[in-house]
A = this chain, B = another copy of it.
Amino acid sequence: MLDRIDVAFLPAEAALFDAATFIVVDLFRATTNIATLFAAGVTRLTAAATIEDARALAAARRALLCGEVGGLAPAGFDLGNSPVEARTAAVAGREAVLFTTNGSRALCAVAGRGEVIAGAFANLTAVAEFVAAREGHVVLVCAGDAGGRRFSLDDCVGAGAFVRAFTALAPGAALGDAARLAARTSIDDARGSHHAGLLRDLGLGADVDFALLRDTSRAVPLVSSAGAGWAALKNASIG
Q: A24: shortest Cβ distance to chain B, in Å?
A: 17
Q: Report yes or no: A180 in contact with B153, Cβ–Cβ below 8 A.
A: yes
Q: Report yes or no: B181 in contact with A156, Cβ–Cβ below 8 A.
A: yes
Q: A41: shortest Cβ distance to chain B, in Å?
A: 34
Q: Is A135 an interface residue (CB 8 A)?
A: no
Q: Is A178 an interface residue (CB 8 A)?
A: yes
A192 — which chain B residues lie within 8 A by C-beta?
180
Chain A, interface size category, equals 20 to 34
A200 — which chain B residues lie within 8 A by C-beta?
none
Choice from B9, B153, B193 contacting A151 with Cβ under 8 Å = B9
Choice from B9, B16, B146, B195 contacting A9 with Cβ under 8 Å = B9
A184 — which chain B residues lie within 8 A by C-beta?
184
Within 8 A of B (CB), among A12-54: 12-13, 16
A194 — which chain B residues lie within 8 A by C-beta?
176-177
- Known: A16-B149, A153-B177, A176-B194; 4 extra A-B contacts, CB below 8 A, are A9-B9, A10-B13, A12-B149, A16-B146
Minimum CB distance partner of A10 in chain B: B10
Which 5 pairs from chain A and chain B are nearest by CB? A153-B177, A151-B178, A177-B194, A16-B150, A9-B151
Q: Map CB proximity to B onto A116-153 as digits: 1 under 8 Å, 0 otherwise.
A: 00000000000000000000000000000010011111
A-B contact pairs, 18 of them (CB 8 A): A8-B151, A9-B9, A9-B10, A10-B13, A12-B149, A13-B150, A13-B151, A16-B146, A16-B150, A151-B178, A153-B180, A153-B181, A156-B177, A156-B181, A176-B194, A177-B194, A181-B185, A184-B184
A150 CA / B8 CA spacing, docked (Å): 8
Within 8 A of B (CB), among A190-229: 192-195
A150 — which chain B residues lie within 8 A by C-beta?
13, 16
Choice from B10, B177, B185 contacting A193 with Cβ under 8 Å = B177
Q: A8: shortest Cβ distance to chain B, in Å?
A: 8
Q: Is A78 an interface residue (CB 8 A)?
A: no
Q: A49: shortest Cβ distance to chain B, in Å?
A: 19
A9 — which chain B residues lie within 8 A by C-beta?
9-10, 151
A156 — which chain B residues lie within 8 A by C-beta?
177, 181
Choice from B16, B146, B151, B180 contacting A189 with Cβ under 8 Å = B180
